[in-house]
């Protein structure tokens, strides 16, 4: 994505200039039909449910059937919506490529396809059908001296991803404003769903009609954002988790970015996304190239199917995490900045006795960092807080059989720090004499300056080299305001983002096996590009289990449970002040990468015994949780949410029934368990740890299941007819284990 210098005379010679070529990519229940008629810009004739084998005639028919009629008072040829929409094709909406040369020329393009490769080989056949595949299109506008390369991949999961790269082949600079890819969706995709949010309230869903105009989600925070669109969906009206055809896109970039849904007056609709470039941020010199981020696109019947394609893709990566996700204790809400070896050693001993497998020391161990106001950027162990160094704690944690983790915030700096006093020019700001407003009493260290980057990298490596550290909690606690290089005033968000990626890559290369958590004042850096180099996200700084029900539920629309940090907090939430039972706190944390954020010295013996049982349950179930399919029941306006994980062979499942509010009626919808094998029978067992939920009124079937060794029921009945819902107080939960009792009847 960083500009690359290429030879000015770089060209691509077309094997068949102006040829018509049509491709059908199909796998995992998804078909993508690409139409390159007369060498024009590639257009998608179909992206959706599988079309089966088409053959040449069928492929032609699909492409021709997708051509629009010519409306009155429009252009005199059918409008073509290419992967990079342009006005020269009749598109009157937002252009995919926007920019100009210093004299104002170059803003209108007539890009055409000059070459195509399929899985690395030149494509010469006019009709091609294949399964998962990678297609590369070489486009050019010789008059404007611009070339665009588009990569498009249909992945084995059925997930589609694409990205574009622009090369300036002219002799004058080219100021790029926008490079946004777009995918068409049908006219009956009438409803949009994406996400809003804020600190401690990430991933709040919002729905609206898909109407004429542009629903534009621009993020200018310099990080993914707690209010990021996350995944922008369009679907048939009323689509839910299990029903309704849905299309969704995700822009995989951790800096400024955009998602959009646009409908023009003809009724044609697109979903798109790309990086948001600040003014003057991307000026390509002759021969330079800019590569944009991946745009991921998922289609399915219901939101669960859309999410499943993302999950399958992530789980198929060679570097994806093991299912043996270690139970993690983070000390932040236990001690905050009050670092004391004796107290932290006692906390480690208590944690190890419960079965905790990873221990993370949070903010406050370095420089003058005794509070939020100073020391950030000085990554040297504090003699004041740790007169004997970190070694004694690290060794004690290791001797207890736990992995040691450490908190860093590498991209940030306090003005009251040694590094800021020595190098004030390393702070991002609009000019040599002005700094942005502080946020959390801190500024941003300009990692695009080689010396600043080396300072952070070398100090971090010194700590990692000196101790057995297997895990970094990587924080990023403020937005990037007025993020420019001081002295030049040029916007630096793009390069700052790439520098952060590069720093993560270097640290992992130097310490193979090192895991990194993406934390950004909670869940403000959750995207598929940062997850190429991190192993976990901190969903939110809010560990209130009621709030986490919503945030975990919707974070999982993009990423699987094993990548979501989900902790059991103390009885009173530190961010909301609410009180919750240990059972509900653990119940809400179980469906994720389990951890603890609690001063265990304040826990009673009964609480510790229950906590030990919850950890043991997680350890027994984590293979299922982190390999199974996430399923979420459609229950209308019910305040009882039902979700579960079903093993790939549908032989077992774990479901959670969670009451997240007070219902207007005393009875609730039946419990229907989705995702099971309808031809098999299952033994359903309630899973209780500690006392029953308060004021539980069980229906007869639940009384029987609790008294006996569960109930055996047909999978079809569990999914289609269901069971009478128990009456539960708000903020209570029940777990159900289901194991296949008999082989499927076919």
Q: Is 76 annotated as a binding residue?
A: no
Going 82 to 24 to 244 to 180, the CA torsion angle's sign is: negative
Q: Please state the φ and ψ torsions of residue 300, each to the nearest 5 degrees.
A: -175, 175
Alpha helices in 409-544 (DSSP H): 418-422, 450-466, 493-510
Which of 378, 535, 541, 668 is the catalytic position? 541
Chain CA centroid to CA 528, Å: 5
Q: How many residues are listed for the chain in this entry? A: 746
Q: Is 519 annotated as a binding residue?
A: yes
The answer to whether 490 and 216 are in contact (CB under 8 A) is no
Q: Is 473 annotated as a binding residue?
A: yes
Q: Is 57 a catalytic residue?
A: no
Query: What is the C-alpha to C-alpha distance for residues 467 and 455, in angstroms, rounded to an integer?
Result: 19
Residues in Cβ contact with 150 at an 8 Å cutoff, skipping those fewer than 6 apart: 42, 83, 84, 136, 137, 139, 162, 163, 164, 165, 181
SS3 314: helix
Q: Is 416 annotated as a binding residue?
A: no
Q: Is 474 annotated as a binding residue?
A: yes
The answer to whether 140 and 168 are in contact (CB under 8 A) is no
How many other C-beta atoms can be found within 10 angstroms of the C-beta atom of residue 55?
12
Query: What is the C-alpha to C-alpha distance for residues 678 and 650, in angstroms, rounded to an integer?
Result: 10
Residues in Cβ contact with 609 at an 8 Å cutoff, skipping those fewer than 6 apart: none
Residue by residue, DSSP assigns 646-709 as E-TTSSEEEEEEEE-S--SSSS---B--TT--TTSEEEEEEE--SSPPTT-B--HHHHHHHHTT
Q: Is 475 a catalytic residue?
A: yes
Let me know the angle formed at the C-alpha of 400 by 398 and 404, rounded to the nearest 5 degrees.
Answer: 35
Q: Is 476 annotated as a binding residue?
A: yes
Q: Is 441 annotated as a binding residue?
A: no
Q: Which of these, 607, 710, 600, lies nearest to 653 by C-alpha position? A: 710
Q: Is 63 annotated as a binding residue?
A: no
In Å, the largest CA–CA distance within the chain is 82
Residue by residue, DSSP assigns 584-611 as HHHHHHSSSEEEEES-GGG--HHHHHHH
Residue with tokens 């000026």: 283
Query: What is the C-alpha to C-alpha distance for residues 377 and 367, in angstroms, rounded to an integer?
Result: 8
Stated as kind and residue range, the H or E segment containing 615 is helix 605-625
Query: What is the C-alpha to C-alpha distance for residues 503 and 524, in angstroms, rounded to an integer?
Result: 19
Which of 89, 304, 475, 527 is the catalytic position? 475
Q: Where are the beta strands (DSSP E) in 62-200?
A: 97-100, 112-118, 121-122, 127-130, 133-141, 146-154, 160-168, 174-179, 181-185, 191-198
Structural tokens at position 340:
């004391």
Query: What is the C-alpha to C-alpha distance for residues 53 and 322, in angstroms, rounded to an integer?
Result: 37
Provide the total of helices (H) and of strands (E) in the chain, helices listed first: 13, 39
Q: Is 475 annotated as a binding residue?
A: yes
Q: Where are the beta strands (DSSP E) in 69-126?
A: 97-100, 112-118, 121-122
Query: What is the C-alpha to C-alpha distance for residues 184 and 263, in angstroms, rounded to an integer?
Result: 10
- Taking CA atoms, 246 is separated from 238, 517, 633, 647, in Å, by 10, 30, 16, 24
Three-state secondary structure along 374-426?
Answer: ECCCCCCECCCCCCCCCHHHHHHHHHCCCEEEEEECCCEECCECHHHHHCHHH
Chain CA centroid to CA 367, Å: 33
Please give the annotated binding residues for substrate, written as ranges: 199, 362-363, 440, 473-477, 519, 541
Catalytic residues: 475, 541
Please give the annotated binding residues, written as ranges: 199, 362-363, 440, 473-477, 519, 541
């Amino acid at each position: 994505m960083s500009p690359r210098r290429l030879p000015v005379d770089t060209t691509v010679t077309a094997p068949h200039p102006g040829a018509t070529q049509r491709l059908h990519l199909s796998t995992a229940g998804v078909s993508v039909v690409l139409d390159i008629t007369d060498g024009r810009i590639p257009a998608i004739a179909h992206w959706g449910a599988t079309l089966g084998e088409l053959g040449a005639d069928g492929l032609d028919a699909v492409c021709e059937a997708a051509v629009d009629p010519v409306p009155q008072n429009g252009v005199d040829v059918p409008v073509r919506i290419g992967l990079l929409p342009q006005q020269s094709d009749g598109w009157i909406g937002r252009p995919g490529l926007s920019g100009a040369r210093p004299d104002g020329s170059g803003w209108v393009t007539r890009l055409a396809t000059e070459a195509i490769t399929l899985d690395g080989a030149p494509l010469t056949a006019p009709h091609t059908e294949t399964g998962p595949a990678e297609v590369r299109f070489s486009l050019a506008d010789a008059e404007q001296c611009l070339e665009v390369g588009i990569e498009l991949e249909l992945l084995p999961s059925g997930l589609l991803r694409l990205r574009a790269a622009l090369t300036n082949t002219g002799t004058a600079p080219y100021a790029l404003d926008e490079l946004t890819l777009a995918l068409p969706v049908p006219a009956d995709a009438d409803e949009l769903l994406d996400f809003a949010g804020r600190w401690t309230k990430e991933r709040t869903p919002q729905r609206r009609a898909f109407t004429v105009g542009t629903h534009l989600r621009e993020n200018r925070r310099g990080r993914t954002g707690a209010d990021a669109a996350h995944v922008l969906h369009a679907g048939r009206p009323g689509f839910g988790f299990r029903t309704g055809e849905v299309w969704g896109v995700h822009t995989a970039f951790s800096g400024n970015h955009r998602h959009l849904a646009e409908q023009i007056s003809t009724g044609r609709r697109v979903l798109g996304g790309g990086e948001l470039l600040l003014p003057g941020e991307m000026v390509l010199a002759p021969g330079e190239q800019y590569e944009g981020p991946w745009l991921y696109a998922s289609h399915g019947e219901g939101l669960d199917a859309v999410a499943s394609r993302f999950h399958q893709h992530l789980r198929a990566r060679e570097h994806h995490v093991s299912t043996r996700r270690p139970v993690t204790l983070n000390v932040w809400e236990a001690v905050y900045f009050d670092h004391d070896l004796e107290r932290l050693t006692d906390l480690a001993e208590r944690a190890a006795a419960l079965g905790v497998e990873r221990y993370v020391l949070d903010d406050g161990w370095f420089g003058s960092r005794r509070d939020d106001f100073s020391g950030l950027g000085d990554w040297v162990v504090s003699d004041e807080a740790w007169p004997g160094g970190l070694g004694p704690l690290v060794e004690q944690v290791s001797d207890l059989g736990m992995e040691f983790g450490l908190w860093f915030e590498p991209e940030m700096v306090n003005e009251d720090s040694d590094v800021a006093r020595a190098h004030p020019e390393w702070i991002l700001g609009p000019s040599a004499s002005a700094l942005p407003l502080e946020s959390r009493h801190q500024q941003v260290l300009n990692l695009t300056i080689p010396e600043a980057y080396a300072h952070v990298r070398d100090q971090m490596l010194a700590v990692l080299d000196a101790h057995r550290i297997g895990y970094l909690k990587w924080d990023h606690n403020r937005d990037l305001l007025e993020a420019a290089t001081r002295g030049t005033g040029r916007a630096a968000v793009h390069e700052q983002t790439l520098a952060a990626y590069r720093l993560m890559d270097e640290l992992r290369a130097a310490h193979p096996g090192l895991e990194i958590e993406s934390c950004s004042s909670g869940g403000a850096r959750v995207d598929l590009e940062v997850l190429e180099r991190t192993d976990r996200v901190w969903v939110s700084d809010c560990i209130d289990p009621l709030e986490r029900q919503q945030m975990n539920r919707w974070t999982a629309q993009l990423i699987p449970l094993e990548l979501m940090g989900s902790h059991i907090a103390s009885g009173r939430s530190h961010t909301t002040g609410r009180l919750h039972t240990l059972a509900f706190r653990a119940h809400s944390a179980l469906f994720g990468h389990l951890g603890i954020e609690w001063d265990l010295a304040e826990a009673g013996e009964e609480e510790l015994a229950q906590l030990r049982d919850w950890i043991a349950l997680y350890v027994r179930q984590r293979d299922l949780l982190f390999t199974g399919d996430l399923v979420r029941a459609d229950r209308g306006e019910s305040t009882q949410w039902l979700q579960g994980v079903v093993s790939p062979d549908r032989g077992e499942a774990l479901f959670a029934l969670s009451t997240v509010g007070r219902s207007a009626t005393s009875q609730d919808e039946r419990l229907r368990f989705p995702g099971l094998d309808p031809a098999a029978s299952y033994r359903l067992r309630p899973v209780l740890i500690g006392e029953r939920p308060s004021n539980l009124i069980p229906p007869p079937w639940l009384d029987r299941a609790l008294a006996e060794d569960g109930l055996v029921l047909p999978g079809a009945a569990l999914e289609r007819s269901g069971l009478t819902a128990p009456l539960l107080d708000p903020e209570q939960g029940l777990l159900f284990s289901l194991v296949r009792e008999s082989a499927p009847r076919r």
